[in-house]
Structure 1
Amino acid sequence: MRSRELLLALALALALPPALAEPPTRQEVERAAAVVRQHPDLGGKRNTSTLRLRDTDKNKKKEEASSSWDWLVKLGRWLSETARVLMWIAGMLAIALLLVGLRRWLQVRKGLSHAHRAPPPSHVQSLDIRPESLPQAIGAAAAKLWQRGDHRAALSLLYRGALSRLVHAHAVPIRAASTEGECVELAEQRLDAHRSAFFARLVGAWQLAVYGARLPDASHALALCQDFDVHLAEAAA
């Protein structure tokens, strides 16, 4: 810096006329300064160039950065849509499997019910309860037997007829090995109070005659014969 000042002073001295004893004027100073500025080592204008990032480069980099994440965004959207479709498919398959399973369950249940529904017995203990083995008017036929003096046959006909009507007309689940007491309980479960009470009276008269060797009085026996077709009709009411 000191050498530069010395050069500047020398230039001013050279630029001034030697005959002047007075201080230089402003114009003379400016002229000397202009000479100094023209010298390449003492200043002057220089043209320099520098590299700068243009805005387009920044935008380009931003676009490249954003495009590098586009595949991830697209992948996320695709996975979301795929998951939704898979959920719909899974739901439809679940409903289809449920319907198929329900149908099979109903078929199996129906088959089991048919398998459990055994055919009605033809005999209960040793008594024949087939409808074709009995007269159509059971009460009237039993009354004739009683009046003819065949008391035990009359009571047997009433009891066999009652069992046949309960099984075939009223769907009471009496089986071949059912006892008198079991038949009464089954009748109470399926029949109304009047019918079940009548059947209980009939069974009582039958048991008294068979196991107790005691016959009911004539009025009681004939009342059973008369009320038979009223309470135990051939077709269920």
Structure 2
Amino acid sequence: MRLDAVGARLRPRRLWEGVDLGFALGREWFLSLWILWWITALPVALLLAVLTGGRPDLWLVAVWWCKPLFEAPLQSWAGRALLGERPEPAERFGIIRAALTRHILPLLLWRRLGLRRSFLMPVTLLEGLSGARARRRRAVLSHGIGVPSWLTLICYHFEAILWGGVLLALVFLIPEELPRLDLTAAVTESDSPVYWFSAAIYLLAFSVIAPFYVCAGFGLYLTRRTELEAWDLEVAFRRARNEQDAAARGSARLTLAALLAVGLVLSLPSPVAEAFAPRDAVLDPVLENGLDPGEAQVIIREILADDEFGSTQEVTLWLPLERDPTEPMDGWIWPSDLGALAVTLAEILKWSLLALAFAGLVWLAFKVIQGVAQTRPRWRRSRSGSQGEGDRPSVQLEPLGAERLPDDIAASVRRLIDKGEHRAALGLLYRASLAELARQGVAIPAGSTEGDCLALAVQSLPAPRVGLMTRVTAHWSRVAYAHRQTSGAELMSLLDDWCRARDLPTGPTRDPGAPDDA
């Protein structure tokens, strides 16, 4: 992604601020996204109406299930618009063809009921990732956050509120002389023509909420990537470099302009003495000498006699009629079937609450099982080494790589420092620190960041070890994310402190395979 071309300002935000950013983008692009949604959804909706045999209830469920199909073009359009390449109306069909690829199939099948759809959709549609790479990316982005799920639930409620609001508005605003809308039939009787009207209103609610839902998920995606990969720093560095290049290219022009300005100033004539005449010479004599009170009254009357001050205007205002306080007020005119409607809505609310309670129990059980699985330490038997160490368990942490840690970590780190491979040396030291942390029984969940591991170390290690772990983490973060290399002297000092904390010999360690100099 060309970060320097992004239209929105990339900065560290809270997750709900990312949602606000997405809603702001949705308001700005609403009309284009809304039209694109209807271009995609209308043919599919007509086809589903034929395939469902004219059953409005089945048709509405089928259209709801195909919502990712309608949201994918919106995601592609928003991705291009954010990079400053706002698509033209003639490019809409090309965007639809590019978005509806094989990557959309998981969103329509086994991941259809996921609550993070709009947040994770850019991983496949914009990044083009699939398979294991896409799974790892989704796991890292989703680690420890629940705002995307809340966003989906809130948008579902917005759709229901919009649908119910339109139906109730039609009931209360249609005069009694005209045929009234049967709310009970519109909600419960699927064989009624009014049910088709209700389903069409729900489709309209889908179209109104979809641009905001897609853009809000996209805003969350940008916020999370900025938090994890420091996009704001990268953009700042690029802009600073561009400004430096522009300043270097324009230095000659600035010098020439300065010389021309100095020459122009020197060529101006000297100011004349009349410009500094005393203030008394230019004051109005009337203000200087004052006015007689009688003359002032005459002038005031002349001014007030002018049309600007003495004219009158007639203004007509609409005022409410005064009601007789003794006259009784008419009561509300309620629909005759409001009681049956209230019973129906209460029944729907009851079953909805039961369904939500059941879904909450399932989700809670899943989280409990997942938490128990993550707290189990991951041990693997070492298959190499000496005979005395063959049965000793060695920790293998999957996020740290598949290679096995060397037996003599200090010697290996010094060997890498001598070769000039400072990044590899620091990475080995950091992996060894995490492996030792895991040997002490600390469970490190998959996908944990450096900050998460440091927080676990603070809770489990003594103060001296915590300080050393903080230094190792800081050096590793500076190398891994800021690309600032650590000098060999700093690495040797860090390694010596690491060895002292473990009662290991410090200083250079000879290679066991090297010959003696004697």
* TM bucket normalised to smaller: 0.3 to 0.5
Q: Which has the larger radius of gyration?
A: 1
Taking structure 1 as the reference length, the TM-score comes to 0.44
Q: TM-score, normalised by structure 2?
A: 0.21
